[in-house]
Amino acid sequence: MNPELLLSLDHPLTRLVVGLVGVFAFVGLNALVLVWVERKVAGHVQLRPGPLHVGPHGLLQPLVDAVKLIGKQLVTPTGSDKVLFWTAPILAFAPVTVCFLPLPFDPHLAPIRLNLGLVLILAFSGLGVLSLCLAGWGSNSKWGLLGAARAVAQSVAYEVPLLLAVMAVALTAGSLDLYEITAKQGGWPWQWYGVKNPLAFFIFLVCAVAETNRAPFDLPEAESELTAGFHTEYSGMGFGLFFLAEYANMIVVSGVAAALFLGGWQGPFLSGILWFLLKIYCILFFIIWLRWTFPRVRFDQLLNLSWKWLTPLALLDFALAVVVAGLGG
């Protein structure tokens, strides 16, 4: 893509539409790649090869899985609320795609500059919880209900420290636009906010893992306890959409982390989109690594961690950021 061509598209709507198409392509491709990466990393951590036979090194496995999921029968359980049941997967997937718009891939490739980009991302991620709720309630299944209840409490609990950590960084940078926050950092690690404010980085990572329902915080879909939690009753593409939404969510939070804490597109040399993607994938690898190492925390321990540890620490961090900003600015 020629940057000049995009800039020469004076009409903002054209730019937005092109950007959306690009975002959809990015999300789709990345979700497939991420599924492959997760299964390969899981395999190698467990001393086995992972997908190997479908395509070279199993690269076509996610594609074949998607075809299989599309081909399955869509079963609606008896007694379930059809509207809620089938709204839930769509509601899980749709908002996440919007969250990709404010991500600062590259200053020259911005489809739209939103001065409240951070708030947009946080707001739309909150809609994901609603979809879990609808899925669990609408399935007319006790397992789903338990999963939905857990999901709501977990998401609410971890929103607070997440917001506080993000606010601390926004305060230091003086803006809610992800492009500006990234521009305030530099290419070298000591210029990143992750190094200047490591507590916020740590809190953000923990909350991000909890918000995306990834192990060790994957209680809503705890496989060994709740059969499959909120998505027990889904088959075929319903499950596929939840699956895709989870991976897209992971990419969004990794993107936000890379932008806020790791300097975004900036690198020591040749700054650009490739650095941003590299940083996203490093964080994604770390999140996947976490999943395959640790057991699950118990529900009340999860809430304890959030309310008794992360929220006070996040408040402390926010206060420190206020003081530092006040002294500096």
Which residue in the set 3, 14, 25, 44 belongs to the binding site for other proteins (CB under 8 A)? 44
Q: Which two structure tokens, joined as six digits, stand for 313?
A: 């620490």
d(CA 2, CA 4): 5
Q: Give least dist CB 169 to other proteins, A.
A: 22
Contact residues for 206 (Cβ-Cβ < 8 A; gap 6+) = 161, 305, 310
Q: Using CB under 8 A as the criterion, what x/- string covers residues 130-159 for binding other proteins?
A: ------------xx-xx--xx---------
Instruction: Name which of 117 and 229 has its Cβ closer to other proteins.
Output: 229
Which residue in the set 33, 45, 195, 324 belongs to the binding site for other proteins (CB under 8 A)? 45
Nearest to 143 by CA among 229, 80, 221, 238: 229
> Of the ranges 61-69, 109-117, 238-246, 294-302, which one interacts with other proteins (CB under 8 A)?
294-302
Task: Compute the residue count for the chain.
Answer: 329
Q: Give least dist CB 202 to other proteins, A.
A: 9
> Of the ranges 86-94, 157-165, 215-223, 260-268, which one interacts with other proteins (CB under 8 A)?
215-223
Nearest to 97 by CA among 20, 161, 150: 20
Beta carbons within 10 angstroms of residue 92's beta carbon: 28
d(CA 227, CA 291): 18
d(CA 193, CA 188): 11
Residue 41, interface with other proteins (CB under 8 A)? yes
Q: Using CB under 8 A as the criterion, what x/- string covers residues 270-289 for binding other proteins?
A: -------------------x
Quote the DSSP letter at residue 268.
Answer: S
Residues 58-97 contacting other proteins, CB under 8 A: 78-79
Nearest to 257 by CA among 231, 279, 237, 227: 279
Residues 219-258 contacting other proteins, CB under 8 A: 219, 222-227
Instruction: Name which of 38 and 65 has its Cβ closer to other proteins.
Output: 38
Instruction: Name which of 119 and 290 has its Cβ closer to other proteins.
Output: 290
Beta carbons within 10 angstroms of residue 138's beta carbon: 23
Residue 56, interface with other proteins (CB under 8 A)? no
Which residue in the set 3, 12, 49, 174 belongs to the binding site for other proteins (CB under 8 A)? 49
Contact residues for 117 (Cβ-Cβ < 8 A; gap 6+) = 101, 102, 103, 176, 177, 178, 179
Q: Give least dist CB 154 to other proteins, A.
A: 13
Residues forming contacts to other proteins in the complex (CB under 8 A) are 41-49, 52, 78-79, 142-143, 145-146, 149-150, 215-216, 218-219, 222-227, 289-301, 309
